[in-house]
Amino acid sequence: MTGLTNRQIVLRRRPEGLLRDGDTELVEASAPELAEGEALVRNTYVGIDAAVRTWLDDQRGYLPPVQLGEVVRAAGVGEVVATRCDAYAVGDVVTTLSGFQEYVVVRDDLFTTVIPDVDDQLAMLSVYGSTGATAYFGMTDIGKPQPGETVVVSAAAGATGSLAGQIAKIAGARVVGIAGGPEKCRVVVEEFGFDACIDHRGPDLAAALREHCPDRVDVYFDNVGGPILDAVLGRLAQGGRVALCGVISSYLTGEHPGPANYVNLLARCGTMSGFNTLHNWDRFPEAFEALRRWEGEGRLVHREQVHPGLEHAVEALNGLFTGANVGKTVVQVSEPTPQLQGR
């Protein structure tokens, strides 16, 4: 398609800590012409995840770092507006690595998924995209909660943690969240249905874990690392399982101190495993089918915090590290097409 202007946020320098003025720049460019095998997607929503910040550092993780001058990478949802690819039709609603921009070119690969019959495009980011898949695979494949077990989830008020805890509740476990501040703890219990929530800003995390987990911790879904991981390891039950999902406590500093209580994995015959959701991309339909069923039964709820306008994307990203987010943080880039909802 010709004549389309694509607003983009590009990386200008490697940030140190929170993003500051000059680290990124909002620019305008022409939307690219399509080659054979490509489709053009108009982004409606871009998800803001802690991983976005890690991709801005000059270190390779499971994806290469964003290079200077490139669009800031992020997952999003959008609508196909032009296509030269048999995998996509005009009007398809897809999740993809859209980046901080209005238009993105996609191909038939594991990064782009058509998800039909979802009435709410926001739910495609908070439930039926990588966030929901991460919670599903981490909890069901590694955590494997059983009825009556105690499950602890850190960053429980966030997008992934809130879903992971609810999945454990559906499995019949008793679920204790860890979050920052009384209001977040209230949301975790009253909205997301956890049995209890510990404020990690309180004076004694270890004591709170003893109080709320008297039978120790069978499963820990870790989103933060650092001292919280250390404290929960100190409360691990016999045969306890730890799913390593994220290290938000050290994404800004790049420092990852090892937990002193890792010896409890030996003493308690426990296991601790990391995972990459993309390694399970062929199982995404399984995850989305289960998530959709649970949401339809009223057993799974989600919450979004929407920032209007691409120009607020950097602000929204910083908010993940200042405690400003509850549920899935999203930037609305454009309005969804009404007739495509529920298509």
Question: How far out from the chain centre does Cα 320 lie?
Answer: 11
Average pLDDT of the residues in 112-134: 85
Residue 6: CB partners within 8 Å, gap ≥ 6? 28, 29, 30, 31, 32, 101, 102, 103
Per-residue pLDDT band for 340 (boundaries 50, 70, 90) equals low
Q: Which range has the worst mean pLDDT, 4-13, 78-87, 242-251? A: 242-251
Distance CA 94, CA 48 (A): 17
Alpha-carbon distances of 151 from 45, 173, 197, 249, 277, rounded to whole Å: 32, 7, 11, 20, 21
Residue 322 has pLDDT above 90, yes or no: no
Torsion angle (degrees, nearest 10) of CA 64, 69, 72, 78: -110
> pTM to 2 decimals?
0.89
Distance CA 89, CA 101 (A): 21
DSSP element (H, E) containing 134: helix 130-137
Per-residue pLDDT band for 174 (boundaries 50, 70, 90) equals very high
Q: Which range has the worst mean pLDDT, 47-51, 58-62, 322-326? A: 58-62
Distance CA 106, CA 50 (A): 23
pLDDT value at residue 339: 63
Q: Write down all domains in the chain, each with its CATH number in brackets.
A: 5-127+303-340 (3.90.180.10), 130-277 (3.40.50.720)
Which two tokens mark 16?
Answer: 């140190």
Phi, psi of 91 (to 5 degrees): 100, -15
Residue 38 has pLDDT above 90, yes or no: yes
Average pLDDT of the residues in 52-63: 85
336 in Cβ contact with 46 (< 8 Å): no
pLDDT, tens digit, 9 for 90 and up, residues 256-266: 777 889 999 99
Distance CA 340, CA 241 (A): 42
Residue with the two structure tokens 């989103």: 223
pLDDT, tens digit, 9 for 90 and up, residues 61-76: 778 999 999 999 999 9
pLDDT, tens digit, 9 for 90 and up, residues 180-233: 999 999 999 999 999 999 999 999 999 999 999 999 999 999 999 999 999 999
Mean pLDDT of the chain: 92
Greatest CA span in the chain, whole angstroms?
Answer: 65
Residue 265: CB partners within 8 Å, gap ≥ 6? 233, 236, 240, 242, 271, 272
